[in-house]
Structure 1
């Protein structure tokens, strides 16, 4: 039977530093690296962690293994600690005094063609709540670090992503918005650019550009016996496009990338035999902003309205 996570006990008052220390330990995977990150001594950091555990009445870190791991209680606290620290930082940010922006993260392409209709509809329906669209080229688009209140993430089972889905872990609500068709990105002077569509086998004879920061494509997208001849690692979408335009590689993405990221020297073609890529809306549970559920409802309306007009 799991130990309940008690957040309100008499005695010591939990301060923000306790949560920061816990987050550093969890994210760095060890006390030594966490202490270095926070510029504090290891004994002081360990003492702060013990104080937090004593207040909660549970162990947050499993100290019995060589590699530091969170206990189930630590896993349960992790998203709440991130949300609490992010909320305090947002509340104390002088730039946001007077309003409370809703931060929507994405790694690339946002909602594709639906992005502008969403921003216009939000401004119309919620003029008192700024909606900030933040492009953060990181696998969770800033969600894991508490930098956004919700994120548009691409990936999931069968998508060819390492670690299955890009969701940060437990404590998050995940909603499937749609499944996007895959597309190939090839150099404009490549013979592949002259075709109406291409296949995974066509691309496998060329080096494939892999965006290691936020991309959705890995060699596992291809069958084991037909993997690409080579991969070219890049750090972000801009470098991915530049490598393809220069003829150094080909790439795989989704239809929205072709619309949102036209690039000189890059031609997009439908990828006939690749599975679609799930587009997810993910936010902490409980939400870090009271308007997140309204945003989710509006995104669904915008997507459904576009589908109805196209039918």
Structure 2
């Protein structure tokens, strides 16, 4: 909401229609497509874009090619505009007048076995602010578009455009086919897994080949779309995987066994949000997440 105020209330010449028009251009990739989507004429869309650029004093879109391209300033403004418009839509949503939900996004396992504790403690301390857990394949993208207020991020992906805080660490586990020899082990090493085909989910997963030493990385990698695809690939015997303790405790899947990794570094868990926070309770939730993960058994 603060972003919305900065963008729209700082100058009465800028209105929500300017944000909608700009984001339509970004989504469609052309003035013509944006005009068609908004039921406007091309000159009106071009004029609106020009008004925004003159107001900001920067070029937002490179018009030198047939397919419009965002400038660096345009990319930054697109993120801010998406969050601002989402906040404005929420402000005018009659369904949200009684309460302003706080949206926490995650890609795989929320807080694992501590998810119920998070929900109960939040509800007890903040009964007037409902907490919604939302799953996205790409939580960073959802956050920058304004679809989330706060995101849980596992691994080393730390977006520079967001406010990011480390809240804890989790042990890593191997996910292996239940009928394989690996499933009966009390523990496994990265070296043992490197001999196998490794299933990786590039967008939402926390594992990359860089987890292994440079001279001992797996040679066979298979990409999967999401959690279910990853689990099914392993259950079928086509690959093994590496994941967090939260996944091993929350996702049971026929044919998949989770075994602790004895030599893998702990998996960092972070919370991220846009700056300034899109919801006044964001920092309170970050504090609670940190407290719950911090009170868990260390990896």
Normalising by structure 1, we get a TM-score of 0.81
1:267 aligns with 2:257: yes
Task: Provide the secondary structure at the position in 1 that maps to 2:243.
Answer: strand
**Which residue of 1 is the match for residue 270 of structure 2?**
280
Paired with 1:33 and 1:196, the residues of 2 have a C-alpha distance of 61
Task: Provide the secondary structure at the position in 1 that maps to 2:138.
Answer: coil
Farther-moved stretch of structure 1 (124-133 vs 221-230): 221-230
Mapping of residues 95-134 of structure 1, within 5 Å: 95-134=95-134
Residues 180 and 278 in structure 1, CA contact (< 8 A), matched pair in contact too: yes
> Which residue of the other structure, out of 288, 292, 295, is the alignment partner of 1:302?
292
Task: Provide the secondary structure at the position in 1 that maps to 2:132.
Answer: strand
**Which residue of 1 is the match for residue 53 of structure 2?**
53
Q: Deviations over 1:143-173 (max 9, x none)?
A: 12211111111121xxxxxxxx253x42x21
Q: Deviations over 1:37-77 (max 9, x none)?
A: 946776654433221111223333456799834334x4553
Residues 21 and 34 in structure 1, CA contact (< 8 A), matched pair in contact too: no
Paired with 1:281 and 1:266, the residues of 2 have a C-alpha distance of 29
Q: Deviations over 1:245-265 (max 9, x none)?
A: 111111111111101112221
**Which residue of 2 is the match for residue 226 of structure 1?**
216
**Which residue of 1 is the match for residue 167 of structure 2?**
177
| Contiguous gaps of at least 5 residues in structure 2 | 1-5
1:68 aligns with 2:79: no
Residues 188 and 265 in structure 1, CA contact (< 8 A), matched pair in contact too: yes
Task: Provide the secondary structure at the position in 1 that maps to 2:258.
Answer: strand
Paired with 2:36 and 2:173, the residues of 1 have a C-alpha distance of 40
> Which residue of the other structure, out of 274, 277, 283, is the alignment partner of 1:293?
283
1:92 aligns with 2:92: yes
Farther-moved stretch of structure 1 (208-217 vs 276-285): 208-217
Deviation at 1:216, TM superposition (A): 1.6
**Which residue of 2 is the match for residue 243 of structure 1?**
233
Paired with 1:120 and 1:137, the residues of 2 have a C-alpha distance of 25
CA RMSD of aligned residues (A): 3.0
Query: Residues 145 and 207 (structure 1 numbering): CA distance in 2 closer, same or farther, change over 3 Å?
Result: same
Residues 241 and 266 in structure 1, CA contact (< 8 A), matched pair in contact too: yes
Residues 187 and 262 in structure 2, CA contact (< 8 A), matched pair in contact too: yes
Task: Provide the secondary structure at the position in 1 that maps to 2:144.
Answer: coil
Task: Provide the secondary structure at the position in 1 that maps to 2:169.
Answer: strand
Paired with 2:182 and 2:84, the residues of 1 have a C-alpha distance of 50
1:150 aligns with 2:150: yes
Deviation at 1:207, TM superposition (A): 1.6
Residues 155 and 207 in structure 2, CA contact (< 8 A), matched pair in contact too: no
| Contiguous gaps of at least 5 residues in structure 1 | 157-164
**Which residue of 2 is the match for residue 200 of structure 1?**
190
Task: Provide the secondary structure at the position in 2 that maps to 1:140.
Answer: helix
Deviation at 1:235, TM superposition (A): 1.1
Query: Residues 62 and 187 (structure 1 numbering): CA distance in 2 closer, same or farther, change over 3 Å?
Result: same
Paired with 2:263 and 2:45, the residues of 1 have a C-alpha distance of 52
Residues 135 and 141 in structure 1, CA contact (< 8 A), matched pair in contact too: no
